[in-house]
Amino acid sequence: MEIPLPEGIRQAARSQYRQRGIFYTLARSVLEPKYPFLWAHNQMWLARAKVNNARLYHFVGDSHTTPFEFQKSMVVHHIGRATAHNLVKDNSSSDSKKLFWKVLSGIDRKRDIVVVVFGEIDCRIHIYYQFKKNLEKIPIEELMERTIGNYLSVLKQAREKGYMLAVLGMPPASAQENSYKYPFYGDARTRSHISRKFNAMLAKACRENGFPFIDVYSASEDGNGFIRKEFARDEVHLNEMIVPVVRVQLEKIGQTGKGRGGSP
């Protein structure tokens, strides 16, 4: 819950928080009891990698990075409620573009793999919202194509700078109802269709553009397009059961070197 503050002070505090410096560390430590331990975990693996030059997997994205917290050789960088569609924008409400590049600047591009984790929020909320907001004049598939195009344009920039990238696919659809009271929110069948179709389109686009795609949908889908109970942390997120599925695919990516960019 946000403390009531004058808007100027709130904006200044939010700006300091998003710069991911000491204010960010202190604020998250107060708001999330687990954060100091997660920070220590990340620092331990970063220090260890400097000593033995062992590869790390950096998960960068929204809250769907959560299953990979406190996992061997995995470092999580949660940059808020960012969308795949707006990652390309200079002034999105979440500042996701600035945060994305700030996080990448601290990653060893010669050794490590960056796993990008965006798009579930687009599937659950924004694609259908834009479809209805535009009076259904823009087909849902076209809105998906635009979102994927924006997403891949940023990833291509990162690859050009020498980062080795992999794209985490979409989880199955969320069972969550319209908790945020959006004026337009797809029913269960619509959300399931959007998540499945977007996942397939993203996988195809990744293949065509040379980005390794990590499939989590196949292992965690219940047959109706939703998250299987044993894989569900809650109505929206996968739990740690997905980690071995992802690790196997990451190790194969590391062996092939697919997704490697050029020199910075």
- Which percentage of the chain shows pLDDT scores above 90? 77
Same structural domain for residues 17 and 89?
no
Domain annotation covers residue 70: yes
User: Which tokens hold the place of 67?
Assistant: 């299953």
Same structural domain for residues 140 and 24?
no
What is the pLDDT, as a whole number, of residue 94? 85
CATH number of the domain that 120 lies in? Answer: 3.40.50.1110
What mean pLDDT do residues 151-178 have?
A: 96
Same structural domain for residues 179 and 251?
yes
- Give 238's strand partners: 232
Same structural domain for residues 25 and 92?
no
Domain annotation covers residue 264: no
Same structural domain for residues 68 and 198?
yes
Exposure b/e, 70-95, CB count within 10 A at least 16 = b = ebeebbbbbbeebbbbbbbeeebebb
Domain of residue 243, residue span: 34-256
Which DSSP helix (H) or strand (E) runs through 29?
A: helix 22-31
Indicate the pairing of strand 213-214 with strand 57-61: unpaired
What is the spatial distance between Cα 110 and Cα 108, in angstroms, rounded to a whole number?
6
Same structural domain for residues 92 and 171?
yes
Instruction: Using a cut of 0.75, tell me whether the model's pTM lies above it.
Output: yes
Domain annotation covers residue 214: yes
What is the spatial distance between Cα 121 and Cα 205, in angstroms, rounded to a whole number?
19
Are 79 and 65 in contact by the 8 Å Cβ rule? The answer is: no
Same structural domain for residues 26 and 39?
no
Same structural domain for residues 17 and 55?
no
Are 245 and 216 in contact by the 8 Å Cβ rule? The answer is: yes
Domain annotation covers residue 263: no
User: Which tokens hold the place of 114?
Assistant: 């960056």
Task: Report how many domains make up the chain.
Answer: 2
Q: State pLDDT tens for residues 225-255.
A: 999 999 999 999 999 999 999 999 999 998 8
